[in-house]
């Protein structure tokens, strides 16, 4: 069981971000195809980076008792793929969340300006 600890923590974290995404419909629950394409493309790019790093001798797998020991390629554990997918989805959710917050703030300022103008009898 201890060999699954890191993967389990990743899955729990990924689930938490999916709950946030579902609640506010930010990425995967707003545009599933676009989100899947973005996550898949970024994971492919980052895995390519990892493979190049392993081939050049810069990257290597650090083995601990908390990892499964399963590899998807030489020196690339399955946990790396899950982490890259999590990181990519997290970036989408954060970007969409910031965008939504900025839109909300702008709409609030416009609404406040309209209320103030009506209260004073001015044109907005």
**What pLDDT, in 10s, does the model give residues 73-109?**
999 999 999 999 999 999 999 999 999 999 999 999 9
Q: How many angstroms separate the Cα of 74 from the Cα of each of 36, 96, 107? A: 26, 35, 51
Q: Beta strands of 9-106 (E only): which ranges?
A: 71-73, 76-77
d(CA 9, CA 67): 11
DSSP state of 28: T
Mean pLDDT of 2-12: 95
Query: Which of 21, 109, 123, 5 shows the shortest CA–CA distance to 64?
Result: 5
Which of 24-28, 32-36, 50-54, 115-119 is least confident?
A: 115-119
Q: What is the mean pLDDT of the chain?
A: 93
Read off the pTM: 0.89
Whether residue 60 is predicted with pLDDT greater than 80 in this model: the reply is: yes
């Amino acid at each position: 069981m201890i060999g699954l600890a890191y993967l389990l923590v990743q899955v729990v974290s990924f689930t938490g971000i999916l709950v946030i995404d579902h609640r506010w419909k930010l990425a995967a629950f707003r545009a599933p195809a676009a989100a899947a394409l973005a996550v898949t493309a970024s994971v492919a790019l980052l895995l390519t980076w990892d493979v190049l790093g392993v081939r050049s001798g810069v990257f290597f797998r650090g083995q601990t008792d908390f990892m499964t020991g399963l590899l998807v390629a030489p020196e690339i554990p399955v946990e790396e793929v899950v982490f890259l997918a999590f990181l990519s989805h997290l970036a989408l959710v954060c970007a969409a969340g910031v965008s939504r917050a900025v839109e909300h703030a702008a709409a609030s300022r416009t609404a406040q300006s309209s209320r103030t103008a009506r209260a004073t009898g001015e044109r907005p």
